[in-house]
Amino acid sequence: MSTARTATLTRETSESSIDLSIDLDGSGRSSIHTTVPFFDHLLTAFAKHSLVDLTVKAQGDTDIDVHHTVEDTGIVLGTAIKQALGDKVGIARFGDALVPLDDALAQAVVDVSGRPYLVHSGEPAGFEFHLIGGHFTGSMVRHVFEAITFHAGLTVHLTLLAGRDPHHIAEAEFKAFARAFRQAVALDPRVSGVPSTKGAL
In a domain, 1, yes or no: no
Residue 110 has pLDDT above 80, yes or no: yes
Q: Among residues 74, 54, 75, 50, which one has the least CA distance to residue 136?
A: 74
In a domain, 201, yes or no: no
Task: Tell me how far apart the 2 most distant CA atoms of the chain are, in Å.
Answer: 51
Q: How far apart are CA 161 and CA 127, in angstroms?
A: 14
Residue 144 has pLDDT above 50, yes or no: yes
In a domain, 195, yes or no: no
How high is the pLDDT of residue 3? Answer: 86
Number of domains in the chain: 1
In a domain, 13, yes or no: yes
Q: How far apart are CA 46 and CA 20, in angstroms?
A: 14
Mean pLDDT across the stretch 38-65? 97
Residue 39, Ramachandran bin (φ over 0: left; ψ between -120 and 50: alpha; else beta): alpha
pTM, whole model, 2 decimals? 0.96
Residue 63 has pLDDT above 50, yes or no: yes
Q: How far apart are CA 150 and CA 181, in angstroms?
A: 15
CA dihedral for 178, 75, 90, 187, sign (positive or negative): negative
Mean pLDDT across the stretch 126-136? 94
Residue 40 has pLDDT above 90, yes or no: yes
In a domain, 103, yes or no: yes
Q: How confident is the model at residue 2 (pLDDT cuts 50, 70, 90)?
A: low
List the end-to-end C-alpha distance of the chain, in Å, as a whole number. 23
Domain that holds residue 30: 6-185
The mean pLDDT of the chain is 96
**Length, in residues, of the chain:** 201
In a domain, 193, yes or no: no
In a domain, 11, yes or no: yes
Q: What is the CA radius of gyration of the chain?
A: 16
Residue 12 has pLDDT above 60, yes or no: yes
Mean pLDDT across the stretch 114-127? 97
Provide the CATH number for the domain around residue 72: 3.30.230.40
Let me know how many helices (H) and strands (E) the chain has, helices first: 4, 10
In a domain, 140, yes or no: yes
